[in-house]
Structure 1
Amino acid sequence: MFKKLVPIHEAAEALGVSAQTLRRWEREGRLLPDERTAGGRRRYDLARLKPEMFRAQVDAARKTVAYARVSSHDQKDDLERQKQVLEIYCARQGWTFEVIADLGTGMNYHKKGLKRLLDAIIGGEVGRLVITHKDGLLRFGAELVFAICEAKGVEVVILNQGEDATFEEDLAKDVLEIITVFSARLYGSRSRKNQKLIDAVRGVVEGTAP
C-alpha cells in the first residue's frame, strides 16, 4: 500500500488546519499520527488523510490488462476478434494497456496467460482488468478472481454484460464444457471419437440434434 509520511506541519497544511488542532485531535482520539520517529516526532500518512492526492499517482503506476480466451483451436478467429475488440475499447479510453490471450478450456486453471495475469494482480501491478464477457476468464471460478481483484483494488470492466442467461442455459454450457474436457482426456483431443461425441452433445445443447 502506498504511503507518504510527513511531519505535523505539512499534514496540517494539507488538511487546512493548524498543527495545534492536530495535537488537540490526537488528545481527543479523533486523529492519531500514523507513526512516531525515534525522537517522538509525529508522522502522518498523507495517502490516508488525502487519498485523492495520490490516487492518480498510484493508478498510473499500475497497468491495464485486457484478457481474451477461447476454448479450442477451432476458435482462433474468435480469439483474434476478442483481442481486436479489447484493443479498440482500451485505445478509445486513452488507456495504456497490455493484452493477454489464452487458448484453452475455461476449466483449466493452469493456462500460462491466466497464471501471468493472476501473478500480476496479486503482485499489485494491475489497476484495471478488461474482459469481453464474464466467462472469458473461467467457466468456474470467475467470482473468485473478481474477489481477488476487489481485494487488490483492481477495477474490472466487462464489455458485454448482455442479458442474464437462464439457469438451464448456464447448465447446458457447463455440461458441454465438462464433456469436452473429459472426452479429450479419454479419447485424445484430435480423435474422431472425441469430435463425434462433442458434436453430438453440442447438438443436444443447441437443439439441433436429429
Structure 2
Amino acid sequence: MESSEVTLSIGDAAKELGISITTLRRWADSGKIRSERSPSGQRRFFLADIKRITPRELNQLDDRITINYARVSSHDQKDDLTRQAQVLEAFSAANGWQYETIQDLGSGLNYNKKGLQKLLKRIIKGDVGRLVLTHKDRLLRLGSELVLAMCEEFETEVVIINKSSEELSFEQELVTDMIELITVFSARLYGSRSKKNKKLVDGMT
C-alpha cells in the first residue's frame, strides 16, 4: 500500500494534528479536510493530507470568529466600557484574529443581559473559536466558571488579558451589584406586601 493511501482513525488523526476529535469532525463535515468511510462506517483520514498541513494552515482551517466581550455595571461607567472595547480590539488585532466585539451594560449578577445571551447562543452554535476578556469578572460576578466550562465543552478558547485582580474597581462594582440586588428584592417584597394589603382592603369593602 502506498503512503498516500495510508489512513488513520479519527482519534489518531486528531492526535497527530493536536486538535480534538470534535474539531476534526467539524472540519470533515464542512469539507475542510478529506476523509472516507471504512466498510464498518468509521471515518478515516489520509495520513498524507495530515502530514502536509502546516501550523499556519491548521490555524486557517479553524476560522471561527473571536469574540471580545466587554461589560460594565452602570451608565456612569460608559467611558470604561469604551476603554475595555478598545483594549480588547487592539489585542485581537495585534494577534491577527478576525473578531467581533460585544458590549454589555448591566450587573455582574444579571444572567439575562442581551450581550451575554447573544454570546452564549453563539458559543452553543459552535460559532466562537475564541473569547477574549480584559478580566474574568467582566463575564459574570458570580457563576463565570459555568460559562468557562461551557466554553471548554464547545471548544472555545478563553483568553484573559489581565489575570491580576482589580481590587478597587472590583469593590466598587460589587457594591453597585449588591445595591441593585437589594433594590430588586425590596421592590418584589414591597410589591408583594402591597398586593396582599390591597386584597385585604378589597375584602373588607
Give the TM bin, normalised by the shorter chain.
Answer: 0.5 to 0.7
**Correspondence for 2:85:** 83
Q: 2:107 aligns with which of 102, 105, 108?
A: 105
Output the CA distance in 1 between the equivalents of 2:129 and 2:88.
Answer: 16
How far does residue 174 in structure 1 lie from its aligned partner after superposition?
4.6
Structure 1 residues 69 and 51, CA gap change in structure 2 (3 angstroms):
farther
One-letter amino acid of the structure 1 residue matched with residue 178 of structure 2 = I
TM-score w.r.t. the length of structure 1 is 0.61
Q: 1:119 aligns with which of 115, 118, 121?
A: 121
Q: Is the 8 A contact 1:11 1:46 kept in 2?
A: yes
Structure 1 residues 163 and 110, CA gap change in structure 2 (3 angstroms):
closer
**Correspondence for 2:18:** none
- The one-character-per-residue Cα deviations of 1:48-79 (angstroms, maximum 9, x if unpaired) are x94994742442x2000000000011111111
- Judge which range, 152-161 or 174-183, deviates more: 174-183
In structure 2, list runs of 5 or more residues that go unmatched.
9-34, 189-205
Higher RCO (C-alpha 8 Å, min separation 6)? 2
Structure 1 residues 92 and 170, CA gap change in structure 2 (3 angstroms):
closer
In structure 1, list runs of 5 or more residues that go unmatched.
1-7, 15-32, 189-210
Output the CA distance in 2 between the equivalents of 1:65 and 1:100.
Answer: 7
Q: 2:59 aligns with which of 41, 56, 65?
A: 56
Calculate percent identity across the aligned residue pairs.
Answer: 46
* Number of aligned residue pairs: 157
Structure 1 residues 113 and 52, CA gap change in structure 2 (3 angstroms):
farther
Structure 1 residues 139 and 163, CA gap change in structure 2 (3 angstroms):
closer
TM-score w.r.t. the length of structure 2 is 0.63
